[in-house]
Amino acid sequence: MKLKKNDNVIVIAGKDKGKKGKIVRIFPVDGRVIVEGLNLRKKRQRPKKQGEKGQTLEMAHPLEVSNVQLFCASCGKGVRVGAKVGGKKKIRICRGCGKEI
């Protein structure tokens, strides 16, 4: 998986298409990521005690990695990522502008 936690991504498919957010969690095995504030689904919570009201919570659900792209600030859009070896470590570069991302 080319994406990492705290990456800024843009959604390219689905109901949140065009929205941006930060990756807060990664599921490499499933190929899914959770993006802060995106793909929210409502979840009803039953009252725990008698006399209490039930709550509706909005939770971010995982998105398929294929439905998001890394957002490049200089290109101003979602881009494909390339890899380059810089010194000892591998760096990710934007395929659009060639900058490190």
Footprint of Zn ion (CB under 5 A) = 72, 74-75, 94, 96-97
Q: Name which of 62 and 96 has its Cβ closer to Zn ion.
A: 96
Q: Name which of 13 and 97 has its Cβ closer to Zn ion.
A: 97
Q: Strands 40-45 and 55-60: what pairing?
A: antiparallel
Rounded CA separation 38/63 (Å): 9
Helix, strand, coil shares of the chain, percent, nearest 5, are 5, 50, 45
Q: Name which of 60 and 75 has its Cβ closer to Zn ion.
A: 75
Q: From the CB of 90, what's the least distance to Zn ion, in Å?
A: 18
Q: From the CB of 37, what's the least distance to Zn ion, in Å?
A: 23
Best CA proximity match to 79, nearest among 88, 89, 71: 71
Q: From the CB of 40, what's the least distance to Zn ion, in Å?
A: 28
